[in-house]
Structures are given as structure tokens and as C-alpha cells.
Chain A
Amino acid sequence: GAGVSQSPSNKVTEKGKDVELRCDPISGHTALYWYRQSLGQGLEFLIYFQGNSAPDKSGLPSDRFSAERTGGSVSTLTIQRTQQEDSAVYLCASSLASTGTQYFGPGTRLTVL
């Protein structure tokens, strides 16, 4: 079946511009995570959606970052007024609450010039 998809795969933007990154989770998965991974670094948790509960936004690094999940499915991560330090790979993962196994998308590589 279809896995987690993310778009775009690559995004180059200029400092100060806003960007939107999209994640399509596996159908039926109630949990959705966003992570950021800088070159050679570990996964940095950003935000977690679980069912109809309020999202856990504790990992968002600043108020320039926000995310939505519409209809319990597709999620969009928005970064406003991008900075060079926002350059990284942004990964999305989804899972079933029953198993907890996260399935990762291929990621979006963001480059801020």
C-alpha cells in the first residue's frame, strides 16, 4: 500500500520568505509527527498530532513554526520568515496508536539562502 508521502521533496527559498511543507500520512493512521534533521544530527521533534487531541507543540523552536492537520489526515508545516538556520530535512511520520510503529516519509530538504 501507499506509504507516507511528503511534498515538495526539495525546497529552496530566500531568507524571510514563508514556506509550506506537506505530509500525507498512511490512511487510517491517527498519529502524525514532524521532525527536523540537520546534517549529521539526530531527529529533532517538532510537533505531534494524535487523533482529535490537542497537538503537542512542545518541540516547535519558535513562533515562526506552526502546523495543522486537517480532517485527521493531511498535515502542513508552515515556517514564516525563514532563516538560514531553518535549513534542514523535515521528516514526517505516521503511526497507529495500537502499534506505535512510525512510518517515515522521504522528507523535504529545505534550503534557505
Chain B
Amino acid sequence: QKEVEQNSGPLSVPEGAIASLNCTYSDRGSQSFFWYRQYSGKSPELIMSIYSNGDKEDGRFTAQLNKASQYVSLLIRDSQPSDSATYLCAPRAMNRDDKIIFGKGTRLHILP
């Protein structure tokens, strides 16, 4: 059974600080990884995807991947109150036809 683990939170971070969201996964065959954001009462939307070990930056967001440790993280720099949401991690297997499994998500609260 493939598992995706995220700390449910809530994670409280002061405005302007760095928020660090973590995700571990059990399937060593996972090849790509997605981070989604879900605002309360809304549907999830993609923030970033990462395929290679290391860091990938997009604006204030940085995704970090370590396949050997089966660990992927999302850093949010200069956190804003508008970043308050639930962040979902979703690894994808090598076989593109396999379904993608989401973690339960981490609730992030940015303190003004």
C-alpha cells in the first residue's frame, strides 16, 4: 500500500518568515511530485511540480526533493496571510497510468 505522510498541522508561521512543509512517501518508484494548495471551501490547485533531486524555485516557493530519503518539501519565503491554506503533497509513480495518491495535507496559518 503506497503511503504519503504529511504533518496535519496546523503549522503557524509569522508573516514574513519561511514556512517549511514536509512530505514523506513510501513508493521508491515515485518519479515526480506535485504540491497543491487548497483554500478553505475551494478546490485544490497546483503550485509546483518537481522531478529531479535538488531544489526548484518559483517565485517565493521552493520545492526540495531527496529521492534517497523519500522526502519532498515545500518552502514558502516571505510568508503572507494569503498563503494560509492546506498544502497537499502528491507523488507520482514511474508508470504514468498509475493513480496519483494525495497526502492528507498540512494546514498552514500565517500569523499577521
Contacts and interface: CB of A to CB of B under 8 A. Distances in A.
Interface of A: 33, 41-43, 45, 48, 50-51, 53, 56, 91, 93, 95, 97-98, 100-107
Contact of A106 (B32, B36, B43, B103): B43
Specify which of B32, B43, B96, B104 lies most central, judged by the most chain A CB atoms within 10 Å of its CB: B43
Interface in B67-106: 88, 90, 92, 96-97, 99-105
A104 B90 CA distance: 14
Top 4 A-B pairs ranked by shortest CB distance?
A42-B104, A104-B43, A48-B99, A97-B96
A101 B97 CA distance: 13
Interface of B: 32, 34, 36, 43-46, 49, 88, 90, 92, 96-97, 99-105
Contact of B92 (A43, A91, A93, A100): A100
Given A102-B100, A104-B44, 17 more contacts: A42-B102, A42-B104, A43-B44, A43-B88, A43-B102, A43-B104, A50-B97, A50-B99, A91-B44, A97-B96, A97-B97, A98-B96, A100-B32, A100-B92, A100-B96, A101-B49, A104-B43
Contacts of B34: 100-102
